[in-house]
Structure 1
């Protein structure tokens, strides 16, 4: 029995992955904000797989808060001796800059600081697995120069586009750090290759609201269909870094100073954590 940890596992593709791995007999730890959604997910799965509740755990957390991410990491370290797959799927879209009660820019905190904590502080539990894999749902392909090292939390000149590109690139650099520490680890940045039917949680603009309400039901694929390439990656992991859109492998974005940038990023983040 493998242990699968999923952030954002009560909605969309995260929930679909949780249902799948409970159905096939693995242990699943879901981190999210809605215990009611988790209970419904487990209840539905248990109708056909009665042992599902015994293999499911929910940890309530707001992962835009560093303290919550740290608390979850400590819980996992205290209660599990191995993590086989870590899926980083938590999402809350913000079009505007928002500061958390801890003083961090909310999107940067959710989409990178929290992920950094999970990847680096759970490295020992991943190393204990024979075939460890991290699937980071950070759409690959951001420019190599997308990170503003002098203003990581975008106090000046915040735009959704800049913020999104910086988070994505930072998560690619995080893969360099993770695989250098554990050469057996598979680290995949992944994004869907077409629209997926989901709630688009967050403070979204009118265009995204229209897509969620009108286009997604008509043109989008179901979360169950969209996760098929992720399941293949988790079930047959390969060591090293890789990037995918759907089932299509993409070349990794390369910059002139990738390893130095990864170390510089880690140094900056450790100072605020």
Structure 2
């Protein structure tokens, strides 16, 4: 009997790498999705060292490019593999307002829209699994976010907290909306808050800006391994095989506050997202 297959976005470092190692150690084959080939190869070697040589493979994808997401999905889907677990982990924090290749503000464009299109294009392969699980790494920062329906790209009054909070709120609403659409199937979708994890998110690779702050605060953060525990729980545990549309923290379902529980906003976001990424239905 072949091993189950998992896929992790942003698998080259931090929580994504820790999650990939955890899934591989649990006996799954892991597709590590990374933007950088060099960093991806380094991470792949770490997973293979930790869990065995044939446990993982690297596939490249830029979640800031709809064209590259479509290329990736076509390549993966052509293999015909059932995808048992998808962990949407990749995320960016943009200290300055930047745009994706498709012209969207980077945090809403990558954290939400990139993963929205990525998930929708792989959905048939997830539904082909005996019990497919989609795990969306969100954040408690959603509480400070709001959906700017008139200006998702934050052309006016941009700040990093506003952009990141909006994207993480969108993650949760996407998970809830998709769970409703998958009701009656064997595929589940849940989101989670990993806790305050010490990763390189928000640190500029070009300038190193933010690195000293991370060093200063690191003793107060969870390790990536600790931060990955809830994602691994949702991906692997039989305890949550029937849970869907829920939001988890420390392996426990949590009540959602205000905007994240708003069904009308969730449907408006779904409609906008479908149009933004060029999907119909």
Task: Using structure 2 for the length normalisation, give the TM-score.
Answer: 0.84
Match of 1:250 among 231, 250, 254: 254
1:238 is paired with a residue of what secondary structure? coil
Asked whether 1:42 is paired with 2:63, we answer: no
Structure 1 partner of 2:60: 60
Q: Deviations over 1:141-182 (max 9, x none)?
A: 635981111111122222212212211221222123211221
Structure 2 partner of 1:190: 192
Q: Deviations over 1:47-94 (max 9, x none)?
A: 4654x3x34221222212222222222222222431111111112221
Unaligned ranges ≥5, structure 2:
none
Q: What's the RMSD between the two structures over aligned residues?
A: 2.7
Q: Name the CA distance, whole Å, in 2 between partners of 1:124 and 1:190.
A: 23
Structure 2 partner of 1:219: 220
Q: Cα offset for 1:4?
A: 0.7
Contact 2:169 2:260 in 1 (8 A): no
Structure 1 partner of 2:20: 18
Trace 1:136-155 onto structure 2 (pairs within 5 A). 136-140=136-140, 142-143=142-143, 146-155=146-155
Q: Name the CA distance, whole Å, in 2 between partners of 1:144 and 1:164.
A: 9
Distance 1:150 1:219, change over 3 A: closer
Q: Name the CA distance, whole Å, in 2 between partners of 1:137 and 1:175.
A: 10
Task: Using structure 1 for the length normalisation, give the TM-score.
Answer: 0.86
1:93 is paired with a residue of what secondary structure? coil
Q: Give the total of aligned pairs.
A: 269
Unaligned ranges ≥5, structure 1:
none
Contact 1:144 1:253 in 2 (8 A): no
Q: Which moved more, 1:106-115 or 1:69-78?
A: 69-78
1:199 is paired with a residue of what secondary structure? coil
Structure 1 partner of 2:157: 157
Trace 1:113-124 onto structure 2 (pairs within 5 A). 113-124=113-124
Contact 2:10 2:89 in 1 (8 A): yes
Contact 2:82 2:125 in 1 (8 A): yes
Structure 1 partner of 2:230: 229
